[in-house]
Amino acid sequence: MKTKRFSDEDLMKFADGELDNKELSMDILSKLLEDTPESEILAKRLEVFTSTRNALLNAVIGDKK
């Protein structure tokens, strides 16, 4: 298995829409669209950041009752 191609920091920025590097963003998207074991691993890594981001947003600005 290859080493990590994308850092956790880059994936976190990507998940938050704050990755300023368009080329790197396209590389991440391209890799996610592949049908390979590496793309599945990348999707699982990215899911960690998107799910925690969503949980944090819901906790901070979620339903105010």
The pLDDT tens digits for 26-65 are 999 999 999 999 999 999 999 999 988 878 778 888 765 5
**Beta-carbon count within 10 A of 31 CB:** 17
Rg (CA), the chain: 14
pTM: 0.76
Write down the pLDDT at residue 23: 96
Each residue's pLDDT tens digit, 2-30: 546 899 999 999 999 999 999 999 999 99
Q: Chain centroid to CA 34: how far?
A: 15
C-beta separation of 14 from 25 below 8 A: yes
